[in-house]
Structure 1
């Protein structure tokens, strides 16, 4: 455990302080015990980071720029309702992409993004492991829930502000620490990393997020498959994991109680995904109304779905949001970006590519049931585009 602590400290010490401050500011949106800052402050910090990035750039990614140009056309063509503030939200989205995505390029910025992701992964891992212990200590920072009230499915968030935040963040931590366990050459350290990864996986289960659990399992699977790079050895390890998990299920099976309870409640209500079905149907109906271009950036049909204060929306799925808001053309452009990220990592054989591939796949799966892809003020949106950026950056190493 001491080695894990030293690795964490050494990793943060090697990171540019500007990057570290920026990353910590992003965590204030996700962590319950950190001070709350108004959205305006967050936007100023993001804008400052994007300006810093612009001064360090050598050029643009043509494919990312094409997406932004299309979104401008999309807003002009679809004229979404002003209640959604489409131009303001688009401006914030552009600022986020400049700060963390592969939109702007230079060797310095590629290193900066990797340092940024490294800081995020270490900090997220520490918070996720601690959240595992919080479950047994009665500590719960979920908004609107008292510290000891986590016996109802979906009400435990540990050190995070929402259970739906704990799930994916603990998921990426599971992948990261499992990767560290795999590449570590010190047997004792390997065991500690594995234990920490299992604690994060348990934290995913405690969040009762089915999408996060499925995404985590898929992400770890792809990470190991890429890292091992030997089909026969991979299936042997996978089979061993399943056998051990099955034999020890009576010990850890209770961790899934929240997920089972949530699933049963939805089945009683009518469908296994009752909580998402209405939003998914709304996105499909919106897409059908204008399949080529969608209904407009960051907007929904108010007659089909709820609109929050200031025009905020919860699409219920990032992939369906891309399809309903930007149409077939926009969806094709976004799929091209994700494919480029996947392809860049899959073609290389540096050990870190296995980690990036696992993280990208985790988000690709998680996006099926969570709609944050355009939510520039969201921590998960920041994390998504940072990972996409780091994946695509790998093609410049060919």
Structure 2
């Protein structure tokens, strides 16, 4: 890690480690590695979600509960509400709501700011660094794979352009490549913005390029939202913000012929969806979530569940659903009360990052802006077994921790 920072310099981060934190580094790396390994297209097996939950529980016990961590009251109230939600709504057994809620709670205990002490804040920051240490190279290698004709996309996703792009690089499908490369793009852009190292601008171009190759519209637009937000929050002077945004806009327009070809997959996806007469199945999913919310606006239809007799489909064997939108899923599954809790969590994390004097404040404020946008169109916010859910709550966790950056 130290050798890499000489080649790819970064600002000094809060929550610095000491020689006594080797165990913390190993555990955080193991967790980050396992999460990303599970979404690689060439991996021949998947690490079981229960084993991942055990790893997270061990981390929470060792660095949280055993070291006298304080509980975050907002999250405890949220957990209590979710348990009441499942008890009152009693979703059909096929959705395994109790099991999924248990996994969700374990995930948040580990990577969200539920347990507060110095050790847990170090653990979350280090885990995020390792996610980026792995995510950026995986994105860059996937960029090279595009030109080498290497594509590890799983067969279920390899033909239908209306479901996702047909290129996924090292990942199982394009809807995983897109978000990982989008977060990597934001991280690389922030690193270049703060260090002016030529290496980081090269990595940014490669990461945003492969994000375009993934044909994930929400990831590409979300990356743009994230990068512009980073630039906005990194500058305190209004005049400097406007000048830099104008420069970025002019450069983007001037170089459009160079990167226009990378948008081919997105254009094909749009054309295919319009030809089918529906702007993607996502529209139907949005309508299904709105109908479910209308049928039970206070408590929703139940955590990790949908209306089994509604218009949306689900896997009858596993109970897995694709809600189409995280924010609408929170509304339909947990009702207006659950939505208010989630909104409070995001607002608190955003302002904790925005008010942080460290350079990392702008990074995490920008990443939360990216998440808030991307999760309008992708439904992983409550999906504890998803690597995207893990990354999103890790971002929220570190962003919220930044309120302690000066005191730690």
TM-score (norm: length of structure 1):
0.92
Among residues 277, 290, 293, which one is paired with 2:296 in the alignment? 290
CA contact (8 A) 2:53 2:107 kept: no
Partner of 1:354 in structure 2? 362
Given that residues 383 and 389 in structure 2 are in contact (C-alpha distance below 8 angstroms), is that contact kept between their aligned partners in structure 1? yes
Given that 1:22 and 1:49 are in contact with CA atoms closer than 8 Å, whether structure 2 keeps it comes out as no
Higher mean displacement: 297-306 or 282-291: 297-306
Q: Is the 8 A contact 1:8 1:122 kept in 2?
A: no
SS at match of 2:230: helix
Report if the CA contact (8 A) 1:54-1:98 is conserved. no
Match of 1:23 in 2: 32
Which residues of structure 2 form unaligned runs of 5+? none
Mapped pair 1:48 → 2:58 = yes
| Matching residue of 2:177 | 166
2:161 touches 2:269 (CA, 8 Å); kept in 1? no
Aligned residue pairs, count: 390
Q: Which residue of 1 aligns with 2:383?
A: 375
Provide the C-alpha distance between the structure 2 equivalents of 1:145 and 1:282, rounded to a whole number of angstroms: 24
Q: Check if 1:127 corresponds to 2:134.
A: no
Give unpaired runs (5+ residues) of structure 1: none
Verify the 8 A CA contact 1:145 1:155 in the aligned structure 2. Answer: no
Distance verdict in 2 for CA 1:182–1:114, change over 3 Å: same
Structure 1 CA distance, aligned partners of 2:390 and 2:140? Answer: 22
> 1:91 maps to which residue?
102
Moved more, 307-316 or 283-292: 307-316
Report the TM-score, using the length of structure 2 for normalisation.
0.90
What secondary structure is seen at the aligned counterpart in 1 of 2:155? coil
1:248 matches 2:258: no
- The offset of 1:210, in angstroms, is 0.6
Aligned residue number for residue 324 of structure 2: 316
Q: Is the 8 A contact 2:8 2:200 kept in 1?
A: no
Q: Distance in 1 between matches of 2:56 and 2:281?
A: 33
Question: Structure 2: how far apart are the matches of 1:57 and 1:27?
Answer: 30
**Do the aligned residues in 1 keep the contact of 2:157 with 2:166 (CA within 8 Å)?**
no
- CA gap 1:38/1:22 in 2 versus in 1, 3 angstroms: closer
Superposed displacement of residue 32, structure 1:
2.3
- Seen in structure 2, the aligned counterparts of structure 1 residues 230 and 9 have a Cα distance that, compared at 3 Å, is closer
1:269-288 correspondence to structure 2 within 5 Å = 269-271=276-278, 273-288=279-294
Deviation at 1:195, TM superposition (A): 1.5
User: Root-mean-square deviation (CA), in Å?
Assistant: 2.5
For residues 171-320 of structure 1, what are the structure 2 equivalents within 5 Å? Answer: 171-184=182-195, 190-271=197-278, 273-304=279-310, 305-308=312-315, 309-320=317-328
* 1:104 has 2:115 as partner: yes
- 1:29–1:378: 8 Å Cα contact kept in structure 2? no
Contact residue 128 and residue 200 of structure 1 kept, 8 A: yes
Deviations 1:241-283 (A, max 9, x none): 2212212211210000001111111122224x32201111100
Q: CA deviation at 1:70?
A: 0.4
Residue 287 of structure 1, CA deviation: 0.0
